[in-house]
Amino acid sequence: MLSHHVTHKGERRHPLWLEITRIVLSLVILWKGLEFIANIHVFTDFMMNSSVPVAILLSLLVHIIIVAHIFGAIALFTGSYVRAACILQMPVIIMALAFRGLAADILNPYAAVWVSLAILCALILVLLKDKHDTLDKANSKN
């Protein structure tokens, strides 16, 4: 009886289509993060030909992008801190869209504009519709 109540409450709060969207989004973000790691040699070549401050900034930026993608994908997949993961992913995707013309080799994982736009739209959708976050659980107790 209790398990039926909990299951029913979960189904009512989390539509299946939103859960599927969140999980697929997490897998796509993880895939893009791993693809970004696979193309890291392009960044190292670019950093070798840059000045020291630019190379340090690029190195920091690359590591931030990788960490954001990996941890964001894990958080989205597990359903914990969904809003924080979406908010942290958005600047990465927006910058990829803004600098898509920078160099096709450097931003190869984001070369397809439609993929970045689809990820951004899905992030916004999940951010606005998902009530799976820990903050929501704390607010619902009050």
Q: How far apart are CA 140 and CA 124, in angstroms?
A: 23
> Which amino acid type is present at position 128?
L
**92-139: per-residue pLDDT in tens?**
888 878 776 655 555 555 557 788 888 999 999 998 987 755 544 555
Which of the 8 DSSP states describes residue 81? Answer: S
83 half-sphere exposure, CB direction, 13 A CA radius: 10
Question: Domain extents for the chain?
Answer: 20-141
**What pTM value is reported for the model?**
0.74
**37-78: per-residue pLDDT in tens?**
888 887 788 788 888 888 898 889 888 989 999 999 999 999
pLDDT the model gives residue 141: 57
> What is the helix (H) or strand (E) element at residue 74, kind and residue range?
helix 52-78
Q: Tell me the Cα Rg of the chain.
A: 18
pLDDT the model gives residue 101: 60
pLDDT the model gives residue 116: 84
Place of tokens 């976050």: 133
Asked which of 17-21, 79-83, 107-111, 117-121 is least confident by mean pLDDT, the reply is 107-111
Residue 4 has pLDDT above 50, yes or no: no
Which pair of structure tokens corresponds to residue 66? Answer: 């990788």
